[in-house]
Amino acid sequence: MAVYRGKLIDLDVHHTWTSPDEIIERLPARWRTVASTVRGNGLPIEGPANSSGPPGGGHRGDSEPEVGPPGSSYPLMREQLLDRYNMERVVLGFNTGRNNGVSNPYFGQALVRAINDWNAETWLSIDDDRLASVVLIPGQFVDEAVAEIERVASHPKIVAGLIGWNSLGKPLGSPVYHPIYEALHDAELMLNVHIGAGEYSNKGGAAMVASGAPALYYDFHVLFPQNMMHHLASLLVHGVFDKYPNLKVVCIEGGVGWLPWLASNLDANYKVLRAEMPSLQRKPSEYLGDHVRITTQPFEASDDPARVIRALSTVNGIERMLCFSTDYPHWDGDNPRYMANRLPDEWQERVFRRNAADTYHWPAPAQISEPVRA
């Protein structure tokens, strides 16, 4: 296969703060004590967590800066990602964005506002046009979520709203969330749904996986794309894209190999779905090309990459839906050279750059430079 030599766009990069103090000092005074008293374990401002982790930690072993957690250092990210891989643009999506899942909804709302302020004042104030990011959505109060989107949307580097926590425990097509989609649509932002959408715990209204809590990290990590499958199905079935015709959903970090299964099953149940949802205007799969983008990582790993491509090609137009992502600095990221060896030549320019640029309306880069590096 030819080596793609153009610039790259990466839709799944995790950035965070060096110290929780950066968020706490941006909270209204009444919440600072709440955030500080119990922050020893890091959870109060991170939101719910699953109980297990990978044996070597959740991040790349070489991604720890001298101070702060992985993903908190711009110079290290520039070295390991932005410069190393010739990035045209990356979308910063917080460590997980599940902060709004703290049990006190009023605290959650304040926390999300502080995080959005922190984002604008820190990372998005860096003089580097490659950095784009998202507005974190405080979904426990839908009207507040709309107000927060309106408050933050005008920042030129904000390109999408991130649902990092499924606050109300409903599949994301639920009408309870539609005002959020309307606000994103009006602000010309896309809807980014990160794997998990907050289902990192079986304590919430929404389960992490079907049929019971995973006992091991292996189970959790194999299975957690299940929530992406359901959220995408729900968005397709419940009229979101008919109501908001310019909205696209970007499904992040769930891989993509399940899409043929999901699309053929939803279409097979089209008659039943029509009986239940008369407003459904097209076969579920017919919304995919216009409204759905899927990031590549963790890209399905067959010993023979052509087999994965064959499987994916059973979905019409899949090469127009896929957008490259690394998941930097998490442990299971994909590097561009590895991906270049797994994608057909004729898909590469689209997947590595153009699909994402079109989705977020980014202009073409000024120049083409060095090849993808290992």
Partner 1 sequence: MSAPTDVGAAGDFAHGAPRVVTAAGREIAVVRWDEELFALRNVCPHQSGPLCGGVVPRLDSPRGGDVVSLRTSPIIYCAWHHWEFDLRTGKALDDPKLRVKTYEILERDGRVYVNV
Partner 2 sequence: MAVSTSTSERTSAARATAVIDCGVVCNWATRADLYAYLPSDWRDYVPPGQPRFAVVMPSWNNPQGDWRPEARTTGNGQAASDVAAIAAHALEPDVGKATLLMDEGALLPAVAATYIVEQLTVAANRWLVDRIDEIADNRLRGIAVLPAQVPLHAAEEVRRVAQVECIAGVHLRGNVLGKPFGHPVFHPIYEAAAEAGLPVVIESGGDALIDVPTQPTAGGLPMTYGEFASLQACSLMTHITSIISAGTFKTFPDLKIVLMGGGAAWLPWYLWRADAEWKGIRREIPWVEVPPSEYFGRNILVGVGPLARGDDGSFDLSGLLSSIDRIETMCCYGSLYPRWNSDSADAVRDAFPASWHAPILRENAERFYRW
How far does Cα 7 stand from its chain's mean position?
21
Beta strand 190-194 pairing with 131-136:
unpaired
Q: Is 258 in the site for partner 2 (CB under 8 A)?
A: yes
DSSP state of 2: P
Size of the site for partner 2 (CB under 8 A): 75
Which H or E element spans position 251?
Answer: strand 249-252
Closer residue to partner 1, CB minimum distance, 55 or 363: 55
Considering the rule CB under 8 A, would residue 17 count as an interface residue with partner 2? no
374 contacts partner 1 (rule: CB under 8 A) = yes
**Rounded least distance, CB 299 to partner 1, Å:** 11
Separation between Cα atoms, residue 167 and residue 236, nearest integer Å: 20
Distance of closest approach, residue 295 Cβ to partner 1, in angstroms: 17
Strand, coil or helix: 218: helix
Among 20, 32, 50, 54, binds partner 1 (CB under 8 A): 54
Least spacing, CB of residue 36 vs partner 2, in Å: 33
Q: Say if residues 106 and 99 touch (Cβ distance below 8 Å).
A: no
- By C-beta, is 127 or 303 nearer to partner 1? 303
| Minimum gap (Å) between residue 128 Cβ and partner 2 | 32
Q: Tokens at residue 223, please?
A: 């299975």
Residue 253: count of CB within 10 angstroms of its CB: 26
Q: Which of 161, 225, 254, 333 binds partner 1 (CB under 8 A)?
A: 333
Task: Provide Rg for the chain, Cα atoms.
Answer: 20
Stretch that binds partner 2, among 25-33, 105-113, 220-228, 240-248 (CB under 8 A): 220-228
Q: Does 332 bind partner 1 (CB under 8 A)?
A: yes
Beta bridge partners of 8: 87
Figure out which of the listed residues 80, 166, 348, 355 binds partner 2, where binding follows CB under 8 A. 166
The yes or no reply on residue 57 touching partner 2 (CB under 8 A) is: no
**What gap in Å lies between CA 373 and CA 335, rounded to an integer?**
9
| 333 interface partner picked from partner 2, partner 1, none, CB below 5 to 8 A per type | partner 1
The pattern of x and - marking residues 55 through 94 that bind partner 1 according to CB under 8 A reads xx---xxx--------------------------------
Antiparallel, parallel or unpaired: β 158-163 and 190-194: parallel
* Residue 147, binding choice from partner 2, partner 1, none, Cβ under 5 to 8 Å by partner class: none
CA distance 64 to 66: 7
Given partner 1, partner 2, none, residue 302, with its beta carbon under 5 to 8 Å by kind, binds: partner 2
- CB closer to partner 1, 61 vs 169: 61
Q: Which amino acid is at 249?
A: V
Q: Would you count residue 275 as binding partner 2 (CB under 8 A)?
A: yes
- The answer to whether 174 contacts partner 2 (rule: CB under 8 A) is yes
Yes or no: say if 191 and 248 are a contact pair by the CB < 8 Å rule: yes
Q: Is 298 in the site for partner 2 (CB under 8 A)?
A: yes
Q: Which stretch binds partner 1 (CB under 8 A): 105-113, 123-131, 264-272, 335-343?
A: 335-343
What does the alpha-carbon distance between residue 163 and residue 168 come to, in Å, rounded to a whole number?
A: 11
Q: 307-341 burial, b for 16+ CB within 10 Å, e for fewer?
A: ebbebbeebeebbbbbbbbbbbbbbebbbbebbbe
User: Would you count residue 260 as binding partner 2 (CB under 8 A)?
Assistant: yes
62 touches, from partner 2, partner 1, none (C-beta below 5 to 8 Å by class): partner 1
Q: Which does 289 bind (CB under 5 to 8 A by kind): partner 2, partner 1, none?
A: none
| H-state helical runs in 72-141 | 74-77, 105-121
Q: How many C-beta atoms lie closer than 10 Å to residue 104's C-beta? A: 13
